[in-house]
Structure 1
Amino acid sequence: MPGPFVVPFHGDAELPAEVDVVVIGGGIIGASTALELAERGTRVALCEKGGIGHEQSSRNWGWVRISRRDPREIPLMAEALRIWRTMDERVGRETGYRRAGIIFTCATDEEYAQHERWNENLRGYQLDSRMISRNEFEAMFPGSNLPVKGGLYTAADGRAEPQKAAPAIAEAARDRGAHVMTECAVRGVETAGGKICGVVTERGYIKCQAVVLAGGAWSGLFLGNNDINLPQLKVMNSVLRTSPAEGGPEQAIWSRHFAMRKRLDGGYTIASGHENVVPIVPNSFRYALDFLPALKKEWRSLNLRLGFRFLDEARLPKRWGLDEPTPFEYNRVLDPQPDKRLSDTALVHVKKAFPALENVEIAQRWAGYIDVTPDAVPVISPLEQIPGLFVATGFSGHGFGIGPAAGRLMADLVLGKTPIVDPADFRFSRFSDGSKIRLISGF
């Protein structure tokens, strides 16, 4: 299945012999980290096994939101909102960012109360976020048939274009001196004296003092070759985009049955508001106890599915030498087949809610694998096991909007600077130091 069209990015032809930092992974997290490092005068090489932004960074909804975030992510997302406001000017390219607002609708009084309680998390941030009544919703969207009690309206939230953002940020990193390689998988890291001294890529060796792994759904496999255990699973989300249409909402909207946001081209990106597919794979059993709390809490929205993905992952080598091809070279892009039922059902509900979109046409479909952690909070952290190795992964479907701030935090950690936010909640060691893994909902 062809994925979404991503703005083409042509990688560098020459591999640098030595840099200060190698960033593994060319999604929005890796690109943002590379940009931050390059802007601070650091010699950096960004290595991507496929194309820039070709996996989940181009397949997500394109929401830039602080609303309904896990409270532990809110300080970092507040920084992200500030960064996004000037992103186009900073990178000199169009990312599609617009501060258009996001509404989470409430179908019941109980949901309204839950969202109202959640909104208390934003006290002190001076962000425009408030509860709206049913009458206010109807006034904002005259002609809508969506039955709501009200909603959480965060005008400070926005949207951007996933197919544009990561390439634009990576190009800006290159403008500032970063080396950016595509179709250049990193096979592994090398150490000397117990700390990072370089990486081996499929195109050769790069000497460096630090490595940032921003490998998305591939991060756990990469770390496993170094005997480092990262509890990580995949969730598949299916998306469709429509042809341009008039009369639909400017704000992104979430409801029980759909999530939608307007695109820069005038169409809409639409997906189910709560249902996802969870492929059953060998790691599902390995990490069953780690993810049991999440399964108990979210079971209504998770469609567990046993299929060919189980065999695909069972066949993946778990160990390899640095002088031989790796799974990353045989799997350049994760491009799963979308679940038509979920996206078609979402579109039906969109048309019912907004009759002006009744004749809108489907232009394309795709799906992507979201990498999730047991507590649905990312890892942005150094690894004690290998000094000089850092990880930024496990963003659990929240990575696109928070990406620029995650890159800034990671650059702070790599360079030993005062971090923009307290990174304690994102530490890798929480999975092994006896800490109780807390699954906190977005309310």
Structure 2
Amino acid sequence: MVVYCATTPQKFFDQLPAQTDILVIGGGIIGISTAYYLAKMGVKVTVCEKGCVAGEQSSRNWGAVRQQGRDPAELPIMIEANLLWRNLAVETGEDLGFRQHGLSHLAETEEALSGFEDFLKLAKQFELDTRLQSAAEVLLHIDGRPGRWLGGMITPSDACAEPWQAVPGIARAAQRLGAVIVENCAVRDIEITNSAVTGVLTEKGRVECNRVLLAGGAWSSVFAEKIGLDIPQSYVMMPVASTEETTNISSGCASDQTVFFRRREDGGYSLCAKELYSELSQNGSLADAGNKEQAFINLLAELGLEPVSSQNGTEETIFEKYRILNPAPPAKSGRIILEHFGERFPQLADTKISELWAGMIDVLPDDLPIMDQAGSCDGLFIATGFSGHGFGIGPASGRIMSDMMLGKPERHDLSSFRFSRFNGATPSTPAPV
């Protein structure tokens, strides 16, 4: 059963240091992975998380570790991430819920089937094990209703992990390597002197440092505005359901044009209906907002999220007032998800939902993240805007950011992830998996 941090006791109790080499803002998959690889290299790194590690989208995502369907710019990084996940499952000594059972895209129409050709060419270029499946071959892999799918595309080397296990597990491993992880500690501001980072101000005090990574997920745009940077984020919300333990109809991950399903370690399935993947509202984009913080507060109010006063007095910021983004899924979500699942798997038509939740996904105009130094400010770096597919690529992104902040050579072409690429771009809504 998924239990989110809004109701979970604190798990990381490190004290805020007076000084650190690198400070990471955000305890999601990107920030934690970055801290892990920095700590492996003996760097003094501190993670400040305003709520709890993996309290938001990093524990609410679908759990896919997929190479299939990736943008060409992301694919080389995701191939590395696939290998890193396998290594992490061994070297951390933690149960990350990592399993390599493949991922399938299933075609309900001839148009969808022909649409697989472009990725097959890309897969061949990168020597992936992706292949097409006939309708009969799909049913050998997935025990669905005959005639439902015309065929599919599968990448057997793709995998999954349990998000609510994996990110805290990597965090514990980073901690054992020397990383400091401080929960319930919002960063309020970054000190910049002569265009260089000199420290951060948190609700628990000041930390001296000369390098900072902003990996705040949905909060990055609001935080960046405070230091004069414009990140053109917009937001979408995705309701996800977990079912009770049920018959195994597929051990891997799969999706068609309507629904996604993934077998979980507890014997149930994580499910979502793609029609529920929608923009939060007409205010879901903060790109053109004159005051991003107020626009974000208005957006949270639409979702029924009210500020909660902390015990830190009158200086509290938006980051302390909204510790965890825990939006309620629409009431119809569970019914719609189960209807679609039952249509495909009549033998599981009586399956019941054990939990239903939603997450806020931050999106950038081209559906690709920023992984870069922030403009001309020496020591300030950004890794954000992973647009709903950051979990799987997280370890490699963390490795990239750790090397970048240490001035090491880039191992991938990162030109598509530069902060400078946004010049009046218009946010868009990405297609899910």
Q: TM-score, normalised by structure 1?
A: 0.88
**RMSD in angstroms over aligned alpha carbons?**
2.7
Q: Deviations over 1:152-179 (max 9, x none)?
A: 1111111100111110111111100011
1:407 to 2:398 alignment: yes
How big is each residue's C-alpha offset from its partner over 1:280-300, in whole Å with a ceiling of 9 and x where there is no partner?
A: 264637549xxxxxxxxxxxx
Matched residues in 1 for 2:395 and 2:23: separation?
Answer: 18
Shift in Å, 1:331 = 0.4
Tell me what 1:365 maps to: 356
Are 1:426 and 2:427 matched, yes or no? no
Native 8 Å contact 1:95 1:164 kept in 2: yes
Q: What is the rounded CA distance, in whole Å, between the counterparts of 1:129 and 1:220 in structure 2?
A: 36
Structure 1 position 223, deviation (Å): 0.4
Distance (whole Å) between structure 1 residues aligned to residue 371 and residue 16 of structure 2: 27
Counterpart AA for 1:284: S
Amino acid at match of 1:351: G
Residues 369 and 442 from structure 1, CA distance in 2 versus in 1: closer, same or farther, beyond 3 angstroms?
A: closer
Tell me which stretches of 4 or more aligned residues in structure 1 moved more than 6 Å. Answer: 312-316, 434-443
Is 1:270 equivalent to 2:261 in the alignment? no
- Could you say if the C-alpha distance between residues 374 and 250 of structure 1 is closer, same or farther in structure 2, counting changes exceeding 3 Å? same
1:298 is matched with none
Report what 1:246 is aligned to.
247
Give the alignment partner of residue 378 of structure 2, picking from 364, 379, 387.
Answer: 387
Q: How does 1:34-433 map to 2 (within 5 A)?
A: 34-142=35-143, 144-145=145-146, 147-280=148-281, 282=283, 284=285, 286-287=287-288, 309=300, 324-432=315-423
For residues 195 and 368 of structure 1, the distance between their equivalents in structure 2, rounded to whole angstroms, comes to 34
Query: Residue 115 of structure 2 aligns to a residue in which SS?
Result: helix
Instruction: After TM superposition, give the deviation of residue 3 of structure 1 in Å.
Output: 7.3
The 3-state SS of whatever aligns with 1:128 is: coil
Number of matched residues? 418
Q: CA deviation at 1:412?
A: 1.2
CA–CA separation in structure 2 for the residues paired with 1:391 and 1:87: 24
Judged with a 3 Å threshold, the aligned counterparts in structure 2 of structure 1 residues 224 and 263 are, in CA distance, closer, same or farther, namely same
How far the C-alpha of 1:123 sits from its partner, in A, is 2.0
Whole-Å separation in 1 of the counterparts to 2:303 and 2:338 = 31
Residue deviations 1:334-365 (CA, integer Å, cap 9, x gap): 00001242342122121221233222221001
The CA distance in 2 between the partners of 1:441 and 1:360, in whole Å, is 27
Q: Which residue of 2 aligns with 1:291?
A: none
Give secondary structure in 1 for the equivalent of 2:96.
coil
What code does the residue aligned with 1:364 have?
E
Q: CA deviation at 1:116?
A: 2.0
Distance 1:9 1:421, change over 3 A: farther
Q: Is the Cα contact below 8 Å between 2:273 and 2:340 reproduced in 1?
A: no
Aligned mates of 2:246, 2:337 — CA distance in 1: 17
* CA deviation string 1:198-257 (max 9, x = no partner): 101100011111000100000000000111110001100000101111232112110122
With 362-371 and 323-332 compared, the bigger mean Cα shift is at 323-332
Gaps of 5+ in 2: 290-297, 308-313
Residue 435 of structure 1, CA deviation? 8.8
Deviations 1:58-115 (A, max 9, x none): 0001011011112211111111001011212121100101001111111122211111
- SS at structure 1 position matched to 2:360: strand
SS in 2 for 1:370: strand
- What is the rounded CA distance, in whole Å, between the counterparts of 1:141 and 1:196 in structure 2? 52
Change (3 A) 1:98 1:366: same
Tell me if the contact between 1:76 and 1:405 (Cα under 8 Å) persists in the aligned partners. Answer: yes
8 Å CA contact 1:4–1:59 kept in 2: the answer is no
Distance 1:60 1:21 in 2: 27
Q: Which piece of structure 1 moves more, 106-115 or 17-26?
A: 106-115
Relative to structure 1, the CA distance from residue 271 to residue 312 in structure 2 (aligned partners, 3 Å threshold; closer, same or farther) is: closer
TM-score normalised according to structure 2 size: 0.90
> Quick check: 2:236–2:279 contact (8 Å CA) kept in 1?
yes
Distance (whole Å) between structure 2 residues aligned to residue 355 and residue 409 of structure 1:
45
Give 1:315 deviation, angstroms.
10
With 44-53 and 417-426 compared, the bigger mean Cα shift is at 417-426
Supply the distance in 2 between the matched residues of 1:367 and 1:102 (Cα, whole angstroms). 23
Quick one: distance in 2 between partners of 1:439 and 1:365?
A: 23
Gaps of 5+ in 1: 289-306, 317-322
SS at match of 2:190: strand
For residue 12 of structure 1, what is the aligned residue in structure 2?
13
Given that 2:67 and 2:78 are in contact with CA atoms closer than 8 Å, whether structure 1 keeps it comes out as yes
TM superposition shift of 1:385 = 3.7
Shift of 1:402: 0.4
| C-alpha distance in 2 between matches for 1:207 and 1:135 | 61
